[in-house]
Chain A
Amino acid sequence: MNYETLGLKENPFRLTPPLDPKEIVWAGMSEVKSKLEKRIELGIRTRPSRIILNWGSYGSGKTHASLYFSKTDRLQELTTKLDAKPSKSIKITLPRSSSDIVQEFLRSFLGQYSLEEIYSDFQKLKDEVGEEQLVLMITNFSNDTVIGEVFKTLINTEDDKYFNILKNYIYGDSTKSTLNSLELPYGLKNDEQVANFIATIINCVTYEKQHYSSFIIWLDEFEDIDTIKKILADRFTTFLRQFIDKTPNNLMLFLNFTQKAFMDREDLSISLGEALSSRAKLKIDFENPTTDEAIAYVKELSNIYLIEDKELPFEDDALIKYVVEHMGNLTTRKINETFSIILEMALIEEKEKIDQTFIDSIQDEIIAWEE
């Protein structure tokens, strides 16, 4: 028994984010997608850096959006449409497990945009603008002579061993031998230096939109800033503010906020601090889908996984509507959870078509079911 009996290649309603970029698809929710794309296009076309706040309930699709624009070809389709250079997009989860929150952010950044890739981009940049211009850019953007030296060393490194020493240095190795090899006076420890380091990369690779037209960072689960020690939270927002200030052009920072309730304050706006809030002019509301939007989502997503010449397993639109209207407040995750279990139960019960009698018989299995 597999999904083919239901006319589907696979269960379209996933409960966890897919790892394979091919499996990351966007279905329905056209309004949110359009809002996101308009803001991304604005970032590709214009220079000023921007912070965009993505607000939504738990399971409203914020993480999915960051994966969709970071892992699929959609972003490049947008740059092609605008006849612009490619854009770089990475998703980072708010650091919260380390006592050095800024170092953890740096490691996550390098985890998504590896030093090898940075090296490769800087080599291409050297070919594009010439070494003299690149050195000048590094000097201007680094705000720090040591950071400047790190990048000047990076662009001229051809030896793997030397590259690895440099890599160790960037990952926090400040032993005497490493410093001596690189002829640097001290390690990359200070938060402001980390801000300078990341800002230099972004400022160089997006300079005049010649190599990348924009650099997008999605900072996911930002609401967890409330669960980390206050001193660390403060340190991180200060670091973010420094980083934004040092990256005035071509950066788009999307902060994903899950709306939740707090004992003493209204919401997380306050956690951003005045400096960040005043810079965050744009926001996107990942609103709960309406019934019609939910039906469209279910159909669109099912159709992506539909085997050619087969029909959707649901009896008709009225059946999808019947389920959606018994789910209370809708979120994408709730829709996924509900339809996933419906399809699984259909497999278990060996059904080929899902009708209302079947749905009524499995109501107890559907957690979100509301009378």
Chain B
Amino acid sequence: MNFVLCVHYDIMKNEMINFNSINTQTKVRRLAYVKTLMTMFLKSSYYPINLFYKKIESEAGKQNDDLLKYINNKGFIEVSKTGNSSKPYIETFLALKLLFTQNNMYRISKYGRVFNILQNELDIKTDNYFLLTTYEKAFLLYSILEKDGLYLQLIIELIEEKKQISIKDTKEVFQDFILIKLEESMYSLDMSSKLKKDVLLRIKRIKNWENPKRYLEHIIEPRVNWLLDLGFLCEDNFQKNILVLSEKGLLFFKEIKTSFDINQNFFTLIHRVYFDNTVVSLEKNDFALVTNYLEKSFILFKTSAPNRVTASQAILYTCYMMLFKENRIVNFSTIQDYLSSKENRKFIYDWYKTEQDGSIRRKK
């Protein structure tokens, strides 16, 4: 079974989004700038759109020394007159749903807030700003798989198939590679007519790319750099513009090749890719820990609404804390199942399919 469609087909079965990809600009190469954006919201809850570009540019400048020392120093945010240097990054993180706009203001999204809370709770640092911590890699990978799964997974599949390929060649062959994989998937799966229609539409759009070379520059460059930042590519080869999967990259590929669902397996995947075997699966007794973290999320994610926390925030926070603090693997769906079960005597749990989110309230 083709793994790409396997991932997305599972998502479709859950009536979620299919074939996700976001628009990117070639400049958006360093994932660590997410920290620059997110920490701005610790100082203010919103920024007027134009002011935010400038603020990010001046703030990003503080990391220039670290960028120069990093494996790759492309994707630099510099001070510009128009804010054009930071804008592509802001738009990418907006597309990854870490920010949102309201009334011409940038605001931190519910997921962005989870990132900031966890940064504070986990408090792990690396020597270089651009060298991401395991937690940061996990968080970004979650957002990317959710919103940009298609391209990221196809690029990694291409690298795995070729074993090694130059960035230049990747750009040359990628359009045909996507088309082959999408067309293959049409025959290899028992697809719903709606999904088939979506795949056909996607194929048509890719075939109609007017200037594929230029377009692929904006698709490939950011994503291969993200793979590098996530630790999935061999650094030495990358410096020679050659893409080779690292040990972690191969593990990641192996995980997503099999039936993968972000809600059911993501934290298992993170454990297998980034952790050694000291982490254990969740035992029944560990649910006391889960409820403690859910309880704590009522304080950390407090809003004007009384006795209520957004389900996705509380559950994601708990999953990360269980893995990074308690060395226990617990997936999003495991907590959802627990909240819906009779064993849950503490919380009232509502889930809305349309919004793919809900709320958790404490029982009286």
Contact = CB atoms under 8 A, between A and B. Distances in A.
A269 B103 contact: no
B109 interface: yes
Given A230-B103, A261-B311, A261-B359, A267 B350 contact: no
Contact of B110 (A230, A231, A265): A265
Contacts of B357: 261-263
A108 interface: no
Contacts of B307: 285, 287
B308 A259 contact: yes
A326 B109 CA distance: 36
B30 interface: no
Contact of B303 (A261, A266, A287, A290): A266
A329 B305 contact: no
Interface in B278-327: 301, 303-311, 313
Contact of A261 (B45, B107, B348, B355): B355
Interface residues of A, number: 31
A301 to B, nearest CB: 20
A168 to B, nearest CB: 34
B109 A264 contact: yes
A53 interface: yes
11 contacts: A57-B350, A233-B103, A257-B305, A259-B305, A260-B352, A261-B311, A263-B356, A265-B107, A266-B305, A285-B307, A290-B364
Nearest to B112: A264
A266 B306 contact: no
Contacts of B349: 329
Given A263-B357, A264-B97, A290-B364, A277 B310 contact: no
Contact of A260 (B109, B309, B355): B355
A280 interface: yes
A348 interface: no
A232 to B, nearest CB: 11
| Chain A to chain B: the 5 pairs with minimum beta-carbon distance, closest first | A269-B304, A261-B355, A261-B357, A264-B100, A285-B306
A89 B235 CA distance: 70
B230 to A, nearest CB: 24
Nearest to B362: A287
Interface of A: 53, 55, 57, 230-231, 233-234, 257, 259-270, 272, 274, 277, 280, 283-285, 287-288, 290, 329
B70 to A, nearest CB: 31
Interface string B86-113: 0000000000010010110001011001
B83 interface: no
B212 interface: no
A115 B357 CA distance: 45
A266 B352 CA distance: 14
Contact of B103 (A57, A234, A265, A287): A234
Give the most central of B103, B311, B313: most A CB within 10 Å.
Answer: B103
A279 to B, nearest CB: 12
A239 B48 CA distance: 21
Nearest to A288: B348
Contacts of A259: 305, 308, 359
Nearest to B351: A261
Nearest to B303: A269
Contacts of B348: 288, 329
B354 to A, nearest CB: 8
Give the most central of B45, B301, B304, B352: most A CB within 10 Å.
Answer: B304
Contacts of B304: 53, 55, 267, 269, 272, 277, 280, 283
Given A261-B358, A264-B100, A329 B306 contact: no
A257 B363 CA distance: 20
Interface in B219-252: none
A266 B313 contact: yes
Given A260-B352, A290-B364, A329-B348, A266 B310 contact: yes
Given A230-B102, A266-B313, 8 more contacts: A257-B305, A261-B311, A261-B358, A261-B359, A266-B309, A269-B303, A274-B45, A285-B306
A234 B310 CA distance: 24
B361 interface: yes
A55 B306 contact: yes
B109 A265 contact: yes
A290 B113 CA distance: 32
A329 B308 CA distance: 14
A218 B304 CA distance: 18
A284 B107 CA distance: 27
A264 B364 contact: no
B107 A269 contact: no
B110 A264 contact: yes
A282 to B, nearest CB: 10
